[in-house]
Amino acid sequence: MGILRQIAEYLYLKKRDPKEEPTQWMKYMHGINRISIFLFILAMIILAIKLMMR
């Protein structure tokens, strides 16, 4: 699976493969990954705003 496709699935931009069986641990892992991606994007936005304010 490609990295961009997986990120799209984490951010709910693309539906998951219905043939894939979700496990409880996979749900936890994807949830944590989703949170980290959102925090990273938020940090990049904040850094961009701070750089523009200089």
Residue 23's pLDDT is 76
Which residues make Cβ contacts (< 8 Å) with residue 11, sequence separation at least 6? 34, 37
| Greater model confidence, 14 or 45 | 45
User: Domain map of the chain by residue range?
Assistant: 26-54
Report pLDDT digits (tens) over 10-35. 676 666 666 777 778 777 888 888 89
Which tokens in the block code for residue 25?
A: 């641990």
Residue keyed to tokens 């994007």: 41
User: What is the residue-averaged pLDDT of the chain?
Assistant: 82
